[in-house]
Copies of this chain bind each other. A is one copy, B any other.
Amino acid sequence: MPVGYVQIPVGIAGPLLINGREYSVPMATTEGCLVASTNRGCKAIHLSGGATSTLLRDGMTRAPVVRFGTAKRAADLKLYLEDPDNFDTLAVVFNRSSRFGRLQGIKCAIAGKNLYLRFTCTTGDAMGMNMVSKGVQNVLDFLQTDFPDMDVMGLSGNFCSDKKPAAVNWIEGRGKSVVCEAIIKGGIVRKVLKTTVESLVELNMLKNLTGSAMAGALGGFNAHASNIVTAVYIATGQDPAQNVESSHCITMMEAVNDGKDLHISVTMPSIEVGTVGGGTQLASQSACLNLLGVKGASKESAGANSRMLAAVVAGAVLAGELSLMSALAAGQLVKSHMKYNRSNKDVSKASS
Residues of A within 8 A of B (CB): 1-12, 28, 30-32, 35-36, 52, 54, 56, 63, 65, 67, 69-72, 74-75, 78, 109-114, 116, 129-130, 133-134, 137, 140-141, 144, 148, 151-172, 179-181, 202-203, 205-227, 229-231, 234-235, 237, 239-244, 247-248, 250, 252, 254, 256, 263-267, 278-279, 282-285, 288, 328-329, 331-332, 335-336, 339, 342, 344, 347-352
Given A31-B278, A206-B114, CB of A6 within 8 Å of CB of B347: no
Q: Is the interface of A mostly helix, strand, loop or mixed?
A: mixed
Given A164-B217, A167-B215, A214-B111, CB of A154 within 8 Å of CB of B206: yes
Query: Roughly how many angstroms separate A202 CA and B153 CA in the complex, as a whole number?
Result: 9
Q: A217 contacts B158, CB within 8 Å?
A: yes
Q: Which of B12, B162, B168 contacts A3 (CB 8 A)?
A: B12
Q: Which of B214, B244, B352 contacts A226 (CB 8 A)?
A: B244
Given A6-B28, A158-B217, A244-B226, CB of A35 within 8 Å of CB of B209: no
Q: B6 contacts A2, CB within 8 Å?
A: no
A53 CB, min distance to chain B CBs, angstroms: 9
Q: B111 contacts A213, CB within 8 Å?
A: yes
Given A167-B167, A347-B134, CB of A265 within 8 Å of CB of B155: no
Residues of B within 8 A of A110 (CB): 56, 179, 267
Specify which of A168, A211, A240 lies most central, judged by the most chain B CB atoms within 10 Å of its CB.
A211
Closest residue of B by beta carbon distance from A6 = B284
Q: B70 contacts A217, CB within 8 Å?
A: no
Closest residue of B by beta carbon distance from A151 = B336
Q: Quick one: copies of this chain in the complex?
A: 4
Residues of B within 8 A of A342 (CB): 141, 144
Q: B349 contacts A133, CB within 8 Å?
A: yes
Q: A331 contacts B212, CB within 8 Å?
A: no
Q: A30 contacts B214, CB within 8 Å?
A: no
Q: A8 contacts B8, CB within 8 Å?
A: yes
Q: Which of B129, B221, B279 contacts A30 (CB 8 A)?
A: B279
Closest residue of B by beta carbon distance from A35 = B1
Q: Which of B30, B206, B331 contacts A157 (CB 8 A)?
A: B206
A281 CB, min distance to chain B CBs, angstroms: 8
Residues of B within 8 A of A169 (CB): 215
